[in-house]
Structures are given as structure tokens and as C-alpha cells.
């Protein structure tokens, strides 16, 4: 049974914040609001107060109790049927080449379970060379991940290209730019150049990374000598260095989004798109065109849909934050 609308409603009712609820569900705010409107129309009721702070109406409170009971009963039924059919379960072998795959997998698996409840995805992770080897040996049916090395071939679908943001704390912006910090933030809401970013001390990827080569080409082309205070590819370290005011850094949008949605409402971090780089790594889905199992085809469909919706949500969230941020 499809209880997607009820599930989305319970998350919104528990969060009492459409932005946070949509981020938690990896869907757009518009999509979440539409699900709630359909549910209200179905039951001829109003579940949330409109205007001001979001709150449940009396009908909404009763609906929340009902929805929790239905979802719990549905989970019990699923477990019962799952256990009964355990002997008939099928395993789908899937590869993942980067931590970005983890951004999408929870939502992919949630959708996949609805379509293929008797299939257990077995996920193998590792670097590109290892996963490609396993794919060539037919130990996995398909794989996904971020890579610049995936060869151009009919079986590789590029679902999107990476996008970079430059992040720096308000404290560092004030210390570096002084009275011009507020004007700088307003002027660069739509994008920042590498030259602008190099006005700050920055963190860079290691010299062995492909992304570092892109930076070095830009530095050379523009005659820049950046004040690089640290080299690391660890996004957790990068974010904390920026948040604490030590330096600025470049971050991929999905990993940055994952940090921001779980941070305090005002963590003091400013972000700016970096449109200068348009040939970055691609998030790819690799599979054989011939002989795909129905389970693999369903997984591919779920992956395409979830990745597209998630990237749309991330882009909208980050754009809105850039437009409204200030010193």
C-alpha cells in the first residue's frame, strides 16, 4: 500500500518546518506542500495553520495520531510478509564509488523497497579502479558515483555535473575585508571568481587530486598566488576550519548541503557559487544495456528519479541561502 502522503505529513507535523522536513525527505518544498494539499483535499480538512509559525490544527493533531497508527500497522505487515517470503528474496549487487552516493542512497532504497520489496540490494563500495574491476568481472550489475575517469561509453549515464561553492565565515570575511565585507557579500550572491576567493586564506585539495589541477590552472591563468594554509580533501575538516574562521574553502554542493541542513540556523558561514569551473566530475550511473535483470532496471529508474529530485532540492536551497545571507 502506498502511504507516501501520510509519511510526508508525519515528518512535516513533527518538524513543523517545511524547509527542514523537505530536506529530511530529500524532496523539494513544493513537492512536500503538494502532498499535504492532496491529503487535506482527500479528507476535506485543514491540518496546518497558514501564515506565521507552522502549527497543527485540531484536525492535524488527530490526523497525526491516525497516520502514525497506519504507518506502524503497515510496517508490521511488511515485516510479517517479509519474514514469510524470506526464502524467496533476491539480492541485487550494486557498486558505489564515492561518498556522494551516500547522499542519495537512503532515498533511493526507500523508493526501491516500494517497488521491489523482496529484493535486498548488496552495496559494494570502494575507489573507481576497484569498483570498475568488480563490474568487469560481473561481480556487480551496476554502479554509481562521482568520477572524471569513467570512459565515454554507451553504458555510462552522467546524471549531473559537480558544482562548487566557496565558503567562508562572517568573522573571516570581516577580518579580511573590513568595512567592505557587507558590499562583498551582496555583490557576490550570484557567484564568485577564484580570484575573489583568493583574497582570503584558503584550504585546497591535495596536489594529487584532479580538482587541485583545475585550481592550479586557474591560479596560473590569472596570475594568482593563494595563501593556502592547509591541504585536505576531508569535507568535515574543511567545513570546521571555515566555520571557525581559520580560512575559506571550496566545497561540493551535495556535501555542503549535508552540513548546512544539520547546522544551527545561523552558523556564521557564508557561501558563494563558483561558476568558473564547468568541466568538473560527473555523477555517473554505469550498467550494461543488454541483459539487465528487472531488479536492476527498477534500481536504475529509482536512482535517476531520486538523484534528479535531490539535486533540484539542493540547488534551490543553496540559491535561496545565497540570496538571503548577509553580514
**Residue whose entry in the numeric block shows the C-alpha cell 540556523:** 265
> What's the Rg (C-alpha) of the chain?
23
Question: 9 CB contacts (<8 Å, ≥6 apart)?
Answer: 35, 36, 39, 47, 63, 64, 67
CATH number of the domain enclosing 39: 1.10.10.10
Question: Cα(189)–Cα(324) distance, rounded to whole angstroms?
Answer: 9
80 & 100 share domain: no
φ/ψ bin of 144: left (φ > 0), alpha (ψ from -120 to 50), beta (otherwise): beta
Cell numbers placing 253: 554542493
Lowest mean pLDDT among 58-62, 105-109, 253-257: 253-257
132 & 204 share domain: no
In a domain? residue 315: no
- Helix (H) or strand (E) segment spanning residue 128: helix 128-136
In a domain? residue 317: no
Is the model's pLDDT at 73 over the cut of 70?
yes
155 & 295 share domain: yes
Judged by DSSP in three states, 121 sits in strand
pLDDT at 148: 57
pLDDT at 152: 45
Question: Cα(184)–Cα(82) distance, rounded to whole angstroms?
Answer: 57
- Check: CB of residue 250 under 8 Å from CB of residue 265: no
pLDDT at 82: 59
263 & 176 share domain: yes
Give pLDDT tens digits for 139-197.
Answer: 899 998 876 555 544 567 888 888 999 999 999 999 999 999 999 999 998 899 999 99
Cell numbers placing 264: 544551527
Predicted structure pTM score: 0.67
In a domain? residue 120: yes
DSSP conformation letters of 235-298: HHHHHHHHHTTS-BEEEEHHHHHHHHTTS-TT-SEEEEE-TT--S--EEEEEE-SSS--HHHHH
154 & 175 share domain: no
CATH number of the domain enclosing 247: 3.40.190.10
In a domain? residue 323: no
* Domain of 246, in residue numbers: 164-279
Q: How far is CA 130 from CA 92, 98, 113, 149, in A?
A: 18, 12, 27, 13
Give pLDDT tens digits for 93-103.
Answer: 999 887 777 78
With cut-offs at 50, 70 and 90, classify the pLDDT of residue 263.
confident
107 & 70 share domain: no
137 & 119 share domain: yes
Give pLDDT tens digits for 11-29.
Answer: 999 999 888 888 877 788 8
140 & 58 share domain: no
Cell numbers placing 140: 556487480
With cut-offs at 50, 70 and 90, classify the pLDDT of residue 126.
confident
217 & 121 share domain: no
185 & 274 share domain: yes
With cut-offs at 50, 70 and 90, classify the pLDDT of residue 209.
confident
Give pLDDT tens digits for 222-259.
Answer: 899 999 999 988 888 888 999 899 999 998 888 888 88
Question: Cα(64)–Cα(77) distance, rounded to whole angstroms?
Answer: 20
Question: 202 CB contacts (<8 Å, ≥6 apart)?
Answer: 226, 227, 228, 229, 247, 248, 249, 250
Mean of per-residue pLDDT scores for the chain: 86
223 & 211 share domain: yes
241 & 289 share domain: no
pLDDT at 280: 74
Number of folded domains in the chain? Answer: 3
In a domain? residue 326: no
**Residue whose entry in the numeric block shows the C-alpha cell 548488496:** 122
Question: 303 CB contacts (<8 Å, ≥6 apart)?
Answer: 104, 108, 144, 159, 285
Amino acid at each position: 500500500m502506498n502511504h507516501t502522503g501520510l509519511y510526508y505529513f508525519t515528518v512535516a507535523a513533527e518538524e513543523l518546518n517545511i524547509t527542514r522536513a523537505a530536506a529530511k525527505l530529500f524532496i523539494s518544498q513544493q513537492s512536500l506542500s503538494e502532498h499535504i494539499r492532496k491529503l487535506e483535499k482527500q479528507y476535506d480538512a485543514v491540518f496546518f495553520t497558514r501564515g506565521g509559525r507552522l502549527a497543527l490544527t485540531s484536525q492535524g493533531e488527530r490526523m497525526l495520531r491516525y497516520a502514525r497508527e497506519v504507518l506502524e500497522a503497515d510496517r508490521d505487515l511488511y515485516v510479517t510478509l517479509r519474514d514469510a517470503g524470506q526464502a524467496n528474496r533476491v539480492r541485487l549487487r550494486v557498486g558505489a564509488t564515492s561518498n556522494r552516493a551516500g547522499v542519495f542512497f537512503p532515498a533511493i532504497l526507500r523508493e526501491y523497497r516500494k517497488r521491489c520489496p523482496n529484493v535486498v540490494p548488496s552495496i559494494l563500495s570502494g575507489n573507481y579502479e576497484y569498483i570498475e574491476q568488480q563490474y568487469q568481472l560481473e561481480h556487480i550489475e551496476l554502479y554509481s558515483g562521482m568520477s572524471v575517469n569513467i570512459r565515454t561509453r554507451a553504458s555510462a549515464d552522467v546524471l549531473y555535473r559537480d558544482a562548487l561553492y566557496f565558503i567562508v565565515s562572517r568573522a573571516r570575511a570581516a577580518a579580511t575585508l573590513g568595512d567592505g565585507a557587507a558590499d562583498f557579500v551582496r555583490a557576490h550572491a550570484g557567484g564568485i571568481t577564484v580570484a575573489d576567493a583568493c583574497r582570503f586564506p584558503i584550504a585546497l585539495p591535495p596536489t594529487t587530486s584532479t580538482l587541485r589541477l583545475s585550481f592550479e590552472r586557474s591560479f596560473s591563468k590569472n596570475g594568482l598566488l593563494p595563501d593556502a594554509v592547509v591541504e585536505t580533501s576531508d569535507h568535515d575538516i574543511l567545513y570546521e576550519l571555515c566555520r571557525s574562521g581559520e580560512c575559506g574553502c571550496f566545497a561540493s554542493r551535495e556535501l555542503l548541503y549535508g552540513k548546512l541542513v544539520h547546522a544551527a540556523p545561523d552558523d556564521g558561514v557564508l557561501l558563494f557559487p563558483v561558476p568558473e569551473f564547468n568541466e568538473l566530475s560527473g555523477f555517473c550511473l554505469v550498467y550494461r544495456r543488454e541483459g539487465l535483470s528487472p531488479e536492476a532496471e527498477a534500481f536504475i529508474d529509482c536512482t535517476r528519479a531520486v538523484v534528479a529530485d535531490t539535486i533540484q532540492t539542493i540547488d534551490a536551497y543553496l540559491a535561496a541561502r545565497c540570496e538571503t545571507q548577509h553580514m
